[in-house]
């Protein structure tokens, strides 16, 4: 594993990844200038909870917990910088499946976050970090950009 640490809650790279999401939301907000309605999750909680909390848990269990682990076990090990082969293949599959229900640009945009989720799975050795990061990314995105 790459710099393996199971203590992601004190990992500066983990907090940098969270900060990157905030910067992305700010840039996207500046470009798209959505009309804010910060209270919408209270009026329609399931429409927020599913993509913000439930889907990240399910997706991380499947993609990082099963697919990425299986790829690590079955395929030749190689890396591209900090990213394992298993992470890159899992991220390609994760992104490809997002093309089913999302516009092309939105689907393609999940590739880099997926690499980060996989990186923290490899780095920590468990699913806590990618689940928390994925839920944080989705929560901010869906809160700010959907209504």
pLDDT in tens, 7-33: 887 899 999 999 999 999 999 999 999
- In this prediction, residue 4 has a pLDDT band, given cuts at 50, 70 and 90, of low
Q: What is the mean pLDDT of residues 62-68?
A: 98
pLDDT in tens, 76-112: 888 999 999 999 999 999 999 999 999 999 999 999 9
Range of the domain at 100: 64-147
**What pLDDT shows up at residue 1?**
46
Residue 54 covered by a domain: no
| Residue 125, phi then psi, degrees to nearest 5 | 85, 5
Residue 2 covered by a domain: no
What global pTM score does this model have? 0.92
Residue 108 covered by a domain: yes
Residue 26 covered by a domain: no
Three-state DSSP at 140 gives helix
pLDDT in tens, 66-80: 999 999 999 988 899
**Do 112 and 100 meet the contact criterion of CB atoms below 8 Å apart?**
no
């Amino acid at each position: 594993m790459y710099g393996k640490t199971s203590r992601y809650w004190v990992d500066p790279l983990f907090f940098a990844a969270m900060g990157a999401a905030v910067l992305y939301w700010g840039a996207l907000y500046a470009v798209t200038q959505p009309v804010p309605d910060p209270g919408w999750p209270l009026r329609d909680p399931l429409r927020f909870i599913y993509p913000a909390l439930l889907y990240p848990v399910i997706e991380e269990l499947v993609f990082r917990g099963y697919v990425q682990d299986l790829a690590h076990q079955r395929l030749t090990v190689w890396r591209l910088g900090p990213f394992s082969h298993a992470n890159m293949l899992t991220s390609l599959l994760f992104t490809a499946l997002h093309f089913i229900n999302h516009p092309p640009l939105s689907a393609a945009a999940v590739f880099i976050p997926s690499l980060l989720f996989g990186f923290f799975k490899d780095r920590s050795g468990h699913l806590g970090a990618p689940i928390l990061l994925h839920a944080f990314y989705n929560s901010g995105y869906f809160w700010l950009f959907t209504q």
